[in-house]
Structure 1
Amino acid sequence: MRPAPTFLARGPWAPEDVSFDWRAEPYAPGAEQTAAADAAITALRERSSPSHDGLATRLVEHRVDADGRLHLELQAIRWALRLLPGGAARSMTGQCVVRSADGRWLAGRRAAWVATWANRWTLGAGGAVDPGESPMTTLERELQEEWGVTAERLRGDALLLLPNDVVMFVGTAWLPEGAEVVRDHEHDEHDWWPADIERWPADADPALRALAEMVSTPR
């Protein structure tokens, strides 16, 4: 059984309830981390996957104020560090779970050439938090980039620490009635799974079922 994520904070949060400060100095990895990141990037290049590297964002600290607002302290970090199985140094990613107006779940199968979750089904849209960007903005941007749509309503659900030391900001986007998605080149198939999670395909990853259950029952 795969280790479960750890809750760092639990919403729900409206977009205006999430704020952040940005540290001036970037994260400085050690020599071992740097060598491992170099090797991970080389491995991506060898299988013709995206290997642009560059800067992403990491979580330094977080707090939830008395009024329930989430405040984050963020810092620039080398993108490739997120590839390290157990040492991603709290690199941040956003995961935007997408639901239709009638409650169905947007599932997409990641193409074989992508860097993460290749050939596997995921929920909605996701990707690294860009430097200087609010994670709520990440959800909106990834939804537009991956599926060509804009949310009618957006909610932040949770801040999770994954077993590989990646921090995932999870949110839910509801699409307007009649919205049509257009998948990007990072997906080779997509489907709308039933609103009832019990009726999902039998081979749906248990992690996706757990994620859907979590956002279905916000605290």
Structure 2
Amino acid sequence: MSTSAPGIELLARGPWPAERVRATWRDAHFEPGSSATEAADRKIAELRDRGSPWHDGIAARLVGYAERDGDLHLDLQPIRWALRLVEENAHDSLSALCVTRDAEGRWLAGRRAAWLSTWAGRWALGAGGAVDPGESPADTLVRELQEEWSVEPERVWGEALLRLPQGMIMFIGQAWLPAGAEVTMDPEHDAYAWWPADPADWPPEADEPLRRMAVMLG
């Protein structure tokens, strides 16, 4: 089944409470071919050449998934983080995106810093990043929100599991902040704003993929 966005495949659709997202990790690491390893090496070198403090590491790969009795079960294995940067094939590397809203329904938007590996200089919703080894993607949502915006959510739900055209898997979640919560921007962003609850009222920098996501989540 496809979403309205070209090339994006909807694998599973929630919502799922955070405690109903269940991750099982395999011990064996994913081993790519030599061409993928060389492509990942080049991507890391490019980041270093432009002064990025980014470093390589271990993240998660989606091996399989199933929906049973209201739970989302994810079969994961360790994978080299840099493989997600290979445009031709990200080898089902898994990332989590925590779309974040305040008590009034407004959307937290941040402009990503120029040194980042993905979406540099573009506006994005909420917080996101790689799933750490041994972690559930539902826990990743909360961790990334804390790391990027120094704020605790009042509640969090898993919303969708998507496959992007380059082979990246995205676990999309939505978090709501308590009334009066204040965010503090981290170095991965150089500006932020609270966009109105109705995406029709969003500013011009809100591009079409962000608007489509908001409509899906709304």
Residue identity (%): 58
Counterpart of 1:113, as a letter, is W
| 2:203 paired residue number | 201
Counterpart of 1:87, as a letter, is N
Deviations 1:79-120 (A, max 9, x none): 000001121000010000000000000000001111111110
Q: Bigger CA drift: 48-57 or 27-36?
A: 48-57
| 1:60 paired residue number | 63
Taking the aligned partners of 2:42 and 2:198, their CA distance within structure 1 comes to: 42
| 2:164 paired residue number | 162
| 1:134 paired residue number | 136
Counterpart of 2:111, as a letter, is R
Q: Paired residues, what number? A: 214
The secondary structure found in structure 1 opposite 2:30 is: coil
- Aligned to 1:189, which of 178, 191, 200? 191
Q: Is the 8 A contact 1:110 1:122 kept in 2?
A: yes
Taking the aligned partners of 1:179 and 1:4, their CA distance within structure 2 comes to: 37
For the pair 1:118 / 2:120, whether they are aligned, the reply is yes
| 2:34 paired residue number | 31
Q: Is the 8 A contact 2:26 2:75 kept in 1?
A: yes
Counterpart of 2:123, as a letter, is W
Gap runs ≥5 in structure 1: none
| 1:92 paired residue number | 94
- Aligned to 2:155, which of 150, 153, 161? 153
Counterpart of 1:33, as a letter, is A
Q: Name the TM-score, length of structure 1 as normaliser.
A: 0.96
Deviating runs (4+, > 4 A) in structure 1? none
Taking the aligned partners of 1:128 and 1:145, their CA distance within structure 2 comes to: 12
Deviations 1:36-68 (A, max 9, x none): 111111111111123311111000000001x12
Gap runs ≥5 in structure 2: none
Q: Bigger CA drift: 47-56 or 193-202?
A: 47-56
Taking the aligned partners of 1:114 and 1:157, their CA distance within structure 2 comes to: 25
The secondary structure found in structure 1 opposite 2:90 is: coil
Deviation at 1:204, TM superposition (A): 1.1
Q: Is the 8 A contact 1:125 1:146 kept in 2?
A: yes
Counterpart of 2:60, as a letter, is T
Taking the aligned partners of 1:20 and 1:148, their CA distance within structure 2 comes to: 25
Q: What is the root-mean-square deviation of aligned Cα atoms in Å? A: 1.0
Taking the aligned partners of 1:205 and 1:132, their CA distance within structure 2 comes to: 34
Counterpart of 2:45, as a letter, is T
Deviations 1:105-148 (A, max 9, x none): 00000011111111100000000000110000000000000000
The secondary structure found in structure 1 opposite 2:74 is: strand
Deviations 1:170-194 (A, max 9, x none): 0000000000000101100000000
| 2:20 paired residue number | 17
Counterpart of 1:94, as a letter, is A
| 2:45 paired residue number | 42
The 1:92/1:50 distance shift into structure 2, 3 A limit, reads farther
Taking the aligned partners of 2:173 and 2:19, their CA distance within structure 1 comes to: 13
Q: Is the 8 A contact 1:86 1:163 kept in 2?
A: no
Q: Is the 8 A contact 2:54 2:116 kept in 1?
A: no
Deviation at 1:7, TM superposition (A): 0.5
